[in-house]
Each structure stands twice: as structure tokens, then as C-alpha cells.
Structure 1
Amino acid sequence: MDDVKEPTESTSLDPQQGFDAVRALRQLADRLEDIQVEKAREQEWSWQAIADALEVSRQAVHQKHSR
């Protein structure tokens, strides 16, 4: 993701629209993470391998995704 540029400003002058966009992106990112973790677990990835891929601790990913 080194080629992704960080935004320097919003295209909207309305902060509420910006916050709505942030919330929607967070929800999308969370859902995509859920799907990928589920696929990885189905393929018998360890919690540590998943954590390494997400660049978080094993405890964090296990707590968030274990059922």
C-alpha cells in the first residue's frame, strides 16, 4: 500500500459528510477484515499468522474474531 496517497483535504466543506464517509469506510474495512479472517481460519491459518498479516497482536485479532 505504499503507492496509496493519503488525503490532504476533504472534497466536502460539510464535516458531517466527511464523518459519514469515515464511518462508512470503517464499516466496510471491518466487514472485509471479517471475511478475510474467516477465509484464513477455514484454511487453517493460525491466529498469529492472521495477526502478522493485519499487523496487530495475536491477542487483538483473536479477541475480535474468535467465536
Structure 2
Amino acid sequence: MDGHDVSAGLRSDDPALGLRAVGALHRQAELTEARYVALARERGWTWEQIGDALGVSRQSVHAKYGNPGKGG
């Protein structure tokens, strides 16, 4: 689903289109978050700083991204 399709899906009254658009947004948000977490770590940010920026605890962001051998 490209950006135009996502926009159209979010304006649609068809639940199938709307839910596909929401799924695409979730996937894009996850990819974008991972990119910026990695960039922040490369630049020396602490897990606490990253968690604060994301509005979550340092523990949750570290659990998600801090253990490369465990999918994060």
C-alpha cells in the first residue's frame, strides 16, 4: 500500500480499506522508530533519553531494541 492508497483508505468508509491503511501506518511507524532509535544510539543517546523522547520507559525501549540477538 503506497502513500496515496493509505490516504484513500483512511478516508474510506470501507472497514477493509481503512484497516489495511492502519496496518500500513503501523508498519511504517515501526520502521521509522527503529531507524531513529538506531541513529540515537549511534550518536550516544542513553536508553532513558530515547524512552523519554518516545514517551515510554527506558526498560521498554531497551527490551525492544537493546538485544540484537533477541530480535531487537
Q: TM-score range by the shorter chain?
A: 0.7 to 0.9
Aligned partner of 1:22 in structure 2 is: 22
Q: Does 1:62 align with 2:69?
A: no
Aligned partner of 2:52 in structure 1 is: 52
Q: When the two structures are superposed, what TM-score results if normalisation uses the length of structure 1?
A: 0.82
**Aligned length, in residue pairs:** 58
Distance of 1:31 and 1:49 partners within structure 2:
19
- The answer for unaligned runs of 5 or more in structure 2 is 1-9
Distance of 1:11 and 1:51 partners within structure 2:
32
Q: Deviations over 1:34-56 (max 9, x none)?
A: 00000000011000000000010
The structure carrying a bigger helix percent of its residues is 2
Q: Deviations over 1:7-63 (max 9, x none)?
A: xxx521210100000000000000000000000000110000000000101111001
Q: When the two structures are superposed, what TM-score results if normalisation uses the length of structure 2?
A: 0.77
How much is the aligned-residue C-alpha RMSD, in angstroms?
Answer: 0.9
- The answer for unaligned runs of 5 or more in structure 1 is 1-9
